[in-house]
Structure 1
Amino acid sequence: ARTNLQDQPYINNKISPDYGEANLNLEPFYSSSKSFVKLHSLDKVLPCEGQQEVQVEYIIKHRELKNDIDHFDLHYLVTFKGSVQDYGSLEISTENKNDDLHGKATLKLPLSAGTSSTFRALVYTILPDGDIVADSAKYRIQQCLQNKVSIGFSPDEVLPGSDVSLKIQAAPGSLCGLRVVDQSVVLMKPDKELTADKVYNLFPFRDDGRYDDRINEYEGLCPYSDFDYYPRWGLHSRGDQDVYSLFEVYIHTN
């Protein structure tokens, strides 16, 4: 859709509306079977423990299923920093033998500090003819540390010069360090406090949806021709996506 904006003539002492501009780029997704799945994304930041339900919407052409099939499987993968953290499948019934299958399913994705601060989920199904239908989404999760540590005084409030007990509780394998400062120091310089965000910034990880540079295949330019002064350039790609671009894995076969 496109809106034609026309310049309005200026009229003294008259307020004219000012309409902003916006754009949305859509990339076509190719599927030879005309079947699709959609993994819905979430705008909120997820907690770093428990489970999160996400919706999967599917459109499966009935002609792609065999007559004796009473269900198909939706498989899912959860990846973080290039490795698979969790996987599973859902069984979808195909009771209606005439119409195309259009419905929704719910995935329960596990949340943990091991997948902070972003992770990707991939959902796919393999049709009887070998066609793969898939979709992926990226989710944000709170930046939490795996080693849970707590500290507290007993009692919480005492008179100056009184004896207090310091209680430290930590997960097995934790390395704990103590720093004792006056509370005024924290109030004057809150940026000096050690937080989970600062720890994660020490080990930055960029998830831009591309292959790692260590395994990315270099696509060199076409060689020079005897008749052309400039190198030959290939046709401009439309950027169409397919299911293999969603997996973001290298598949080696013999």
Structure 2
Amino acid sequence: MTAQTAAQAMADATHRLRAAGVTDPARDARVLLAHAARIEASRVTLIAPEELSDEVADRYEQLISLRAIRVPVSHLIGEREFYGRRFKVSGDVLDPRPETETLIETALSQPFARVLDLGVGSGCILVTLLAEQGQATGVGVDLSDAACLQASANAVLHRVQDRAEIHASDWFSNVDGQFDLIVSNPPYIALSEMEGLSTEVREFEPEMALTDGGDGLAAYRAISAGLGAHLAPKGRVMVEIGPTQAAAVTDLFYSVGLVNVCTIRDLDGRDRVVCGFAPD
């Protein structure tokens, strides 16, 4: 096969990914070329006129072939950016998403000393909060042992491991003590909505992190039930929600005695986080 320049290879890859129905083919072709060439994405332009070595071309071909069958880019390169930091990810955890940064911004709007992350996943929420709040300590729990390992690795990567305790738990079942901040991005997609998800999400992300197999509200019921024992007086709880769930989650929070429950919208104007406070 005739050697291609990086620019030619990237153009061909973009065409293949577009034909496969990938949402942003040019971006993905660029990111994957950078990964294949083991350079920063910002340097792709510099190598555009150069011929790719056989080794890089083979790696790029494999990456593009996998992306064409909709394997997520984050799984192919092993990381995803979130709140200005890179987090290691895999098929064992939900990909960090930009809309979850709304929860981070809300949590950081007031100080906290001890945080609990229910369903810690990749650790992106817990690790980010501890990295941003240098004196805080935290606990992250997840039903998945693989997720706990991934979160622990990210805690080490971002040097908060001495302030983070991560272990397996079914919501509050293996959690002791009280916290002045409790956060969660739980599985909130109803079973009936699963077929409408993109192939990348439906086929390659862990189902238990996406749906409760029912109406999408089971996690909020479990979280609400445990707040009385684990949310400190005047403490805050905030959960990410689907865009139609604000009223149902608000009712759940009020039903267990929380006060000043409110909904925060994301940058696209969709209901994204429900926040409530424990009374004095």
Question: Could you state the TM-score of these two structures normalised by the residue count of structure 2?
Answer: 0.18
**Structure (1 or 2) with the greater strand fraction:** 1
**Structure (1 or 2) with the greater helix fraction:** 2
Structure number with bigger Rg? 1
Question: Could you state the TM-score of these two structures normalised by the residue count of structure 1?
Answer: 0.20
